[in-house]
Amino acid sequence: MLCLFDLDGTLIDSELGIVACIRHAFERLGMPAPADLRHWIGPPLRHSFAPLLDHDAVRVEAAVEHYHERFHTLGWREHSVYAGIDAMIERLVEQGHELAIVTSKPHRHAAPIVESFPFAKAFSRLYGPDPSSPQSEKASMIAAALADFGAQPERTVMIGDRHFDIDGAVANQVRGIGVLWGFGSRAELENAGAHALAATPAELTALLTD
């Protein structure tokens, strides 16, 4: 089976780095950052910045660039792998599953994070959008993964913590499994049409190795 994993909120807790970079961007713009930034984790940055910047394309692009400048030097290091993920990955590899990452984080930022994992070699491919893309493109990246691996939708699963992951799965007729330890909610994942939910990596392992 082909197992496609989201990154932020699924494999890693990246809240510290992402929030710090968002605050940095607002500071560079001379604006106060919103008090609650947790829900910013997952959607494309432009999607989140736009309403607060009057949908001014120039200011939105400046905000995104300010975010990236800090993330490139510091933010990518400010994360931790969720407990139990390493054991889950080891088990999936033992079972002969193919693994890849499909993330809304730009490829250039996701790559050093993935390369730092002790289990990095378990993932055959990493899919992430170009930094200039206004969308996270989960659906198109899942479609690319299906083509690259020659995988059938019924033998593929997308695992993530936000509705964007499940939306991408539904668009490609693959199973979407929502994880409850990330940044989304049970209601969000159920409403998006998640095939199943897992509260812990151990529960996810059981779903993937039945």
pTM score, two decimals?
Answer: 0.87
**In CATH, what number is assigned to the domain containing residue 32?**
1.10.150.240
Per-residue tokens: 159: 């695992």
Domain of residue 47 covers: 15-77
Q: Which residue in 141, 71, 160 sits closest to 110, CA to CA?
A: 71
Q: Which residue in 68, 127, 130, 136 sits closest to 104, CA to CA?
A: 136
Same domain (yes/no): 150, 165: yes
pLDDT in tens, 72-98: 889 888 899 999 999 999 999 999 999
Same domain (yes/no): 86, 65: no
Beta partners for 127?
102
Three-state secondary structure string covering 8-37: ECCCEECHHHHHHHHHHHHHHHCCCCCCCC
pLDDT at residue number 104: 87
* In contact, 63 and 26? CB cutoff 8 Å: yes
Same domain (yes/no): 116, 173: yes
Helix (H, G, I), strand (E, B) or coil at 109: helix
Same domain (yes/no): 201, 102: yes
Q: How many residues does the chain have?
A: 210
Same domain (yes/no): 99, 186: yes
Among 57, 77, 97, give the residue marking a domain's end: 77
Pairing mode, if any, of strands 196-198 and 2-5?
unpaired
pLDDT at residue number 12: 95
Among 77, 100, 123, give the residue marking a domain's end: 77
pLDDT at residue number 43: 77
Q: How far apart are CA 31 and CA 173, in angstroms?
A: 42
Same domain (yes/no): 87, 189: yes
Same domain (yes/no): 39, 122: no
pLDDT along the chain (210 residues), means of 10: 96 92 95 89 85 94 94 88 96 96 89 94 92 71 96 97 95 97 95 97 92
pLDDT at residue number 146: 97
pLDDT at residue number 44: 80
Among 61, 77, 93, give the residue marking a domain's end: 77
**In CATH, what number is assigned to the domain containing residue 163?**
3.40.50.1000
Same domain (yes/no): 38, 99: no
pLDDT at residue number 145: 96
Cα dihedral 81→6→209→115 (10° resolution): -50
